């Protein structure tokens, strides 16, 4: 269970602040430093006053104690409004950062992640898979599409100041743009059972050229997630209903990913990974408008990895006609 | 005849309806539970001195931190100040002979004991390894430990909390001595009133949540199971809807204690009484609206995140107001540094630090990095231990003469307070740094770069342990050998000091008159009582 | 100093306040259940609709009538108790308890029917082709109605106690039961049902 399995490669030396290795981390650090300074000053000021009063007004001292005040509405107003303003400024700053962080760039490199007790399985679009390791190119946004096979886990890279819970039955996403070459800790941050603290690994940031070489160096004959998905699409004969020429009235799938979909109950959703996944495992839960509830569930025939592959296939071919 | 002499049999204690005796029954129980929870903490800190998981197995470690959390939250912190100090002092402060429902009070204690023993039984049978937060689906579908039994034990202690809350609220409404209006009440009473509202309204949500988890485990009624269309996040919402107000159950009474002690030992009226009272109400009410800040990375919507973040910043304001008012109370006072005051000042400092670090966690972008790390562990220990436990000890020392009629040895009291303060900071400040560096919580083994800070923390814990053991020893000693204290050894205002120490069974020989001014401190009062 | 206990009127005021506080907590207890139900319905409207129409509207409506009547009866009983009309009080409390028993019996019949139709959640759940959420609906249904019935049974015990307390040789602890507070509790249990009824039986139009 010893966590330090990687001598030499990962920096195991003591440091007060984690390395800053992503663009998001740089932004977070700015806020952190500001918070530290503001809160630090408030703390020092307050504690200084308390200690100061304690010394000056200790019993027996000769300080002036005439007309001790018992209340001062003006002062109360001041020390209510001033912190309120400071807190609101901090809130807005932090909120802005988090809103920025929630917008996944369209050109982000998608990596599928499956978490299970007690390991991480990652798959690049090229099909290359890794266990407990994530190789990423420098300077390119990467979005992790994550699902858990069992309990809630949490994908955490301190150097990126990035963390996101990984849930069963749903996809969650985490994106970052690595800004420093090197290797960084990757940890599970949501207690998930016995070997929670062993569910760690490393993120390796490489130059884009090295990354391309690394991808190419993978085991021969690896199929991409999308290719696996295409095979599944064919095996399960999805085109039987979803092909435009089919006699069954089923929603067309070409270019569906990312589009707005109107549902039978009048609401609208964006067809993201979660929508596609749910449409395959619980098709009648959110019926699209204008279609009968006749698609069966494929939950029993598809594993978590299969689902990720199918979803990858559906999103990877935006305008091409899907094969029969 | 003092309440202590009014019956010596075991039956007279176990079937008592005297709020003062019930307070002592609670005190004995929570002390025992505190040391069990502390033993678990000792094992945790011992394990964490080395990066490798070499002291206990991973399974055992997970059970240790779960036991520590469950025991400290439900069997120690939540009942500590209200059920020990509140039970004893609240009726005295308002001039009442007892609580509104004395028999319900005894039932509260029995429910608490039953729940506590069930939790200990689960521990003895093999323990539970879900963490005190019982997140699904781990707790419902994957844990092989004694989850349902533990949940049942907590459920039963929850019933005790609700009963106590109802008792306190009705007492404050119905049993105040004539002439004692709301804005003449000690802030301790305000604090316990607000705490009781939270107890009554929040605990039932915990009750239904625990029942649903048990139902999923026992009857496969999987409302949190995504395979059936359920939602694991629903558990988190329901759990934190209780557990966030629960932290105010743990801190508001502490604030009440501090508001009694600082004026007494600064010989000065509390500054800004009305604002202090309103701040208590604001904390209790806004505290119900912030639970989602425990879920910023859970998969909750970004909109919800923003709302909870804003509300979390807002809830910090009334707490800040209280800290400023305590500070202003010191201004132009005449300050003595007896043990209760040392603990109370320690509270102010440590609560301030803990509260400010809460702002870091309220900021979504920072919370993404810091949540589920040791930063959070440090934050809540600063509030719960640096705050609530310090205040509990402050109150314990302040009202000790009233409860037993004897002085405790003052120099040892001060020494213990200082030891606790330093031990506490050495234990928990490094944990802030561990969190910033990225060490996740609930880790049995950890990457080697985190060792230095862990060693410092464990060293601090050993000092803290000594600091906590000292009062056990000298307070026990004082029962036999302490100097008799008289009715009002501190020269304090407040009705509880107008009756004998220890008080007679029915609290007051004559019905007391409402105090004109419950914070009417001047330096002369001290001189009159010849301290 | 005055008597050990405050006067009876003050005691009943305290008792009533205590019961209101307890009911506020109960509101949150059931509130958690309703919140979960609402979220389930929001996320799986088709599944909840498909499941909702399988509930027995006739028995549900019958039970609503029974419970509303019992609330009326217990209100009369509490009033009679306050006016020291012992006979009316006994009949009223006993009647309410009896009506509560009828409710529980009807519920048992309902559960039995649902068991035979395979609507209990678990491996035997029969609505396999329904949209996802149908089984979840029944999980909420059984949890909520079971907890409601449990509260009703406690109410029946207290109402029976109030009836017995009117007797001449009733022990002191029984006579300490506050009739007004018990009636208040009963009304609360009724109110919870008033919200449960549409949530369970009126989810979707039936064919």
Contact C132 A265 (CB under 8 A): no
Of the candidates A281, A285, A293, the beta carbon closest to that of C133 is on: A285
Q: How many angstroms away from the CA of A318 is the closest CA of chain B?
A: 27
Asked if B156 contacts B114 with a C-beta cutoff of 8 angstroms, the reply is: yes
Which residues in chain C have their CB less than 8 angstroms from residue A287's CB?
A: 46, 131
| Number of domains comprising chain C | 1
* Calpha distance B439→B431 (Å, rounded): 9
Burial of C119 (0-12, 13-18, 19+ CB in 10 A): buried
Asked if B60 contacts B470 with a C-beta cutoff of 8 angstroms, the reply is: no
pLDDT tens track for C51-104: 999 999 999 999 999 999 999 999 999 999 989 898 999 999 999 999 999 999
What local confidence, expressed as pLDDT, does residue C2 receive? 31
Average pLDDT estimate for C15-20? 94
pLDDT tens track for C40-51: 998 888 899 999
Residue B448 backbone zone (phi > 0: left; psi -120 to 50: alpha; other: beta): alpha
Of the candidates A64, A75, A167, the beta carbon closest to that of B232 is on: A167
Structural domain contains residue C9: no
* Calpha distance B518→B495 (Å, rounded): 8
Which residues in chain C have their CB less than 8 angstroms from residue A280's CB?
A: none
Q: Token pair for residue B452?
A: 């230095």
The interface pTM score, or ipTM, of the predicted complex is 0.92
Structural domain contains residue C80: yes
Collect all residues with Cβ–Cβ distance below 8 Å to C17 and sequence separation of at least 6: B169, B170, B173, B174
Of the candidates C17, C25, C121, the beta carbon closest to that of B173 is on: C17
Q: How many angstroms away from the CA of A42 is the closest CA of chain B?
A: 9
Tell me: pLDDT of A15 over 80. no
Domain carrying residue C47:
22-202
Contact A3 B446 (CB under 8 A): yes
Average pLDDT estimate for A205-233? 85
**Nearest residue in chain A measured CA to CA from B326:** A50
Contact B234 C36 (CB under 8 A): yes
Of the candidates B272, B320, B353, the beta carbon closest to that of A71 is on: B272
C124 interfacial to chain B (CB closer than 8 Å): no
Beta bridge partners of A123: A112, A129
What local confidence, expressed as pLDDT, does residue C175 receive? 82
Please, what are the domains in chain B?
A: 10-528 (1.20.210.10)
Across A253-271, b (16+ Cβ under 10 Å) vs e yields bebbbeeebebbeeeeeeb
- The CB density around residue B517, as the number of other CB atoms within 10 Å, is 9
User: Domain extents for chain A?
Assistant: 109-217, 225-322
pLDDT tens track for C101-138: 999 999 999 999 999 999 999 888 898 888 888 999 99
Burial of C169 (0-12, 13-18, 19+ CB in 10 A): exposed
Contact B223 C24 (CB under 8 A): no
* pLDDT beneath 70, residues of chain B: 523-531
Q: How many CB pairs below 8 A link B and C?
A: 105
Contact A76 B321 (CB under 8 A): yes
What local confidence, expressed as pLDDT, does residue C8 receive? 59
Question: Can you give the CATH number for the domain in which C66 is found?
Answer: 1.20.120.80
In which band, very low, low, confident or very high, does the pLDDT at A50 lie, cut at 50, 70 and 90?
very high
Q: Is CATH 3.40.50.300 what the domain over A109-217 is classified as, yes or no?
A: no
At B272 the three-state DSSP class reads: coil
* Calpha distance B346→B351 (Å, rounded): 8
For residue C124, give the DSSP letter: T
A297 interfacial to chain C (CB closer than 8 Å): yes
Contact A192 B332 (CB under 8 A): no
Best mutation target among A2, A29, A55 (most B Cβ atoms within 10 Å) is: A2
Q: How many angstroms away from the CA of A82 is the closest CA of chain B?
A: 10
What local confidence, expressed as pLDDT, does residue A318 receive? 58
Best mutation target among A278, A279, A283, A285 (most C Cβ atoms within 10 Å) is: A285
Average pLDDT estimate for A237-261? 86
Structural domain contains residue C207: no
Average pLDDT estimate for A158-183? 95
B177 interfacial to chain C (CB closer than 8 Å): no
Angle made by CA atoms C187, C191, C194, in degrees to the nearest 5? 140
For the ranges A50-64, A280-294, B181-195, C172-186, the lowest mean pLDDT is seen at A280-294
pLDDT tens track for C127-180: 888 888 899 999 999 999 999 999 999 999 999 999 998 887 788 888 888 899
Q: Is CATH 1.10.760.10 what the domain over A225-322 is classified as, yes or no?
A: yes
Of the candidates B299, B445, B450, the beta carbon closest to that of A167 is on: B299
What local confidence, expressed as pLDDT, does residue C177 receive? 84
> Using only C-alpha atoms, what is the Rg of chain C?
20
**C positions 93-112 inside 8 Å of B (CB):** none
> Mean pLDDT of all residues in chain A?
87
> Using only C-alpha atoms, what is the Rg of chain B?
23
């Amino acid at each position: 269970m010893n966590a330090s399995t990687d001598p030499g490669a990962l920096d195991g030396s003591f440091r007060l602040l984690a390395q800053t290795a992503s663009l998001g981390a740089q932004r977070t650090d700015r806020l952190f430093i500001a918070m530290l300074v503001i809160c630090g000053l408030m703390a020092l000021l307050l504690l200084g006053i308390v200690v100061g009063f304690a010394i000056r007004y200790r019993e027996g001292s000769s300080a002036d104690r005439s007309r001790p005040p018992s209340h001062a509405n003006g002062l109360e107003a001041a020390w209510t409004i001033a912190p309120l303003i400071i807190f609101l400024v901090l809130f807005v700053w932090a909120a802005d950062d988090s809103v920025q962080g929630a917008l996944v760039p369209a050109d982000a490199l998608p990596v599928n992640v499956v978490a299970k007790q007690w390991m991480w399985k990652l798959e690049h679009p090229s099909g290359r898979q890794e266990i407990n390791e994530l190789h990423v190119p420098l300077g390119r946004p990467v979005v992790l599409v994550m699902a858990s096979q069992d309990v809630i886990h949490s994908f955490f890279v301190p150097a990126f100041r990035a963390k996101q819970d990984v849930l069963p039955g749903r996809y969650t996403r985490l994106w970052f743009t690595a800004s420093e070459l090197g290797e960084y800790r990757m940890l599970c941050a949501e207690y998930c059972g016995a070997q929670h603290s062993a569910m760690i690994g490393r993120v390796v940031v490489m130059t884009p050229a090295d990354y391309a070489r690394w991808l190419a160096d993978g085991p021969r004959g690896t199929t991409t997630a999308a290719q696996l998905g295409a095979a599944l699409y064919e095996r399960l004969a999805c085109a039987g209903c979803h092909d435009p020429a089919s006699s069954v009235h089923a929603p067309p799938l070409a270019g569906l990913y990312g589009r707005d979909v109107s549902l039978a109950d009048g609401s609208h959703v964006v067809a993201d990974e979660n929508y596609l996944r749910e449409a395959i495992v619980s098709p009648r839960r959110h019926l699209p408008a204008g279609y009968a509830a006749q698609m069966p569930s494929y939950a029993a025939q598809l594993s978590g990895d299969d689902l990720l592959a199918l979803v990858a296939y559906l999103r990877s071919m935006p305008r091409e006609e899907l094969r029969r | 005849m003092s309440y202590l002499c009014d019956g010596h049999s075991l039956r007279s204690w176990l079937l008592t309806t005297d709020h003062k005796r019930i307070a002592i029954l609670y005190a004995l129980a929570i002390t025992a539970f505190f040391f069990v929870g502390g033993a678990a903490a000792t094992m945790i800190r011992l394990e964490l001195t080395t990066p490798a998981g070499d002291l206990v197995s991973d399974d055992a470690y997970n059970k240790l931190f779960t036991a520590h959390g469950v025991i400290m939250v439900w069997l120690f912190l939540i009942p500590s100040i209200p059920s020990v100090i509140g039970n004893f002092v609240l009726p005295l402060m308002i001039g009442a002979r007892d609580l509104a429902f004395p028999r319900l009070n005894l039932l509260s204690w029995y429910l608490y004991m039953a729940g506590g023993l069930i939790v200990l039984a689960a521990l003895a049978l093999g323990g539970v390894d879900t963490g005190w937060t019982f997140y699904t689906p781990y707790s419902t579908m994957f844990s092989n430990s004694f989850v349902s039994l533990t949940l049942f034990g907590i459920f039963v202690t929850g019933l005790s909390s609700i009963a106590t809350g109802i008792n306190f609220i009705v007492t404050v409404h119905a049993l105040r001595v004539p002439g004692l209006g709301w804005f003449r009440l000690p802030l301790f009473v305000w604090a316990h009133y607000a705490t009781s509202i939270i107890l009554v309204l929040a605990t039932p949500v915990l009750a239904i949540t625990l029942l649903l988890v048990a139902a999923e485990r026992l009857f496969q009624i999987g409302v949190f199971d995504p395979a059936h269309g359920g939602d694991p996040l629903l558990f988190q919402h329901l759990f934190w809807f209780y557990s966030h107000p629960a932290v105010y159950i743990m801190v508001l009474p502490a604030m009440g204690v501090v508001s009694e002690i600082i004026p007494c030992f600064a010989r000065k009226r509390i500054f800004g009484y009305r604002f202090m009272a309103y701040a208590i109400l604001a904390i209790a009410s806004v505290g119900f609206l912030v639970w989602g800040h425990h879920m910023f990375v859970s998969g909750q919507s970004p909109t919800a995140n923003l709302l909870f973040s804003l509300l979390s910043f807002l809830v910090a304001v009334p707490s800040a107001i209280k800290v400023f008012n305590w500070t202003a109370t010191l201004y132009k006072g005449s300050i003595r540094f007896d043990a209760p005051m040392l603990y109370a000042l320690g509270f102010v400092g440590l609560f301030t630090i803990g509260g400010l670090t809460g702002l870091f966690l309220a900021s979504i972008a920072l919370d993404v990095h810091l949540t589920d790390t040791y930063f959070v562990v440090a934050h809540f220990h600063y509030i719960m231990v640096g705050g609530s436990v310090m205040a509990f000890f402050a109150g314990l020392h302040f009202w000790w003469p009233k409860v037993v009629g004897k002085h405790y040895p003052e120099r040892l009291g001060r020494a213990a307070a200082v030891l606790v303060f330093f031990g506490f900071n050495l234990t928990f400040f490094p944990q802030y740094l561990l969190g910033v560096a990225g060490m996740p919580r609930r880790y049995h083994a950890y990457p080697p770069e985190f060792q230095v800070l862990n060693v410092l923390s464990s060293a601090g814990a050993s000092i803290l342990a000594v600091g906590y053991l000292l009062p056990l020893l000298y307070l026990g000693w004082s029962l036999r050998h302490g100097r008799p204290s008289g009715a009002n050894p501190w020269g304090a205002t407040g009705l509880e000091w107008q009756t004998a120490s220890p008080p007679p069974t029915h609290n007051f020989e004559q019905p007391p008159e409402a105090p004109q001014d419950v914070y009417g401190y001047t330096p002369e009062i001290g001189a009159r009582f010849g301290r | 100093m005055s008597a050990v206990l405050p006067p009876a009127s003050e005691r009943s005021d305290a008792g009533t306040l205590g019961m209101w506080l307890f009911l506020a907590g109960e509101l949150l207890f059931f509130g958690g259940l309703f919140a979960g139900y609402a979220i389930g319905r929001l996320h799986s409207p088709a599944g909840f609709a498909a499941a909702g129409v399988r509930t027995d509207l006739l028995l549900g409506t019958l039970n609503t009538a029974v419970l509303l009547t019992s609330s009326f009866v217990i209100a009369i009983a509490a009033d009679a108790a306050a006016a020291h009309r012992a006979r009316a009080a006994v009949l009223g409390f006993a009647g309410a308890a009896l009506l509560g028993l009828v409710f529980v019996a009807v519920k048992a019949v309902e559960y039995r029917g649902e068991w035979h139709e395979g609507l209990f959640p678990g491996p035997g759940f029969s609505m396999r082709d329904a949209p996802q959420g149908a089984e979840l609906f029944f999980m909420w249904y059984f949890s909520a109605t079971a907890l409601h019935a449990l509260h009703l049974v406690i109410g029946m015990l207290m109402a029976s106690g109030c009836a017995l307390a009117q007797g001449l040789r009733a022990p002191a602890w029984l006579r300490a039961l506050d009739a007004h507070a018990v009636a208040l509790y009963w009304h609360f249990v009724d109110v919870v049902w008033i919200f449960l009824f549409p949530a369970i039986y009126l989810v979707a139009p039936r064919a």
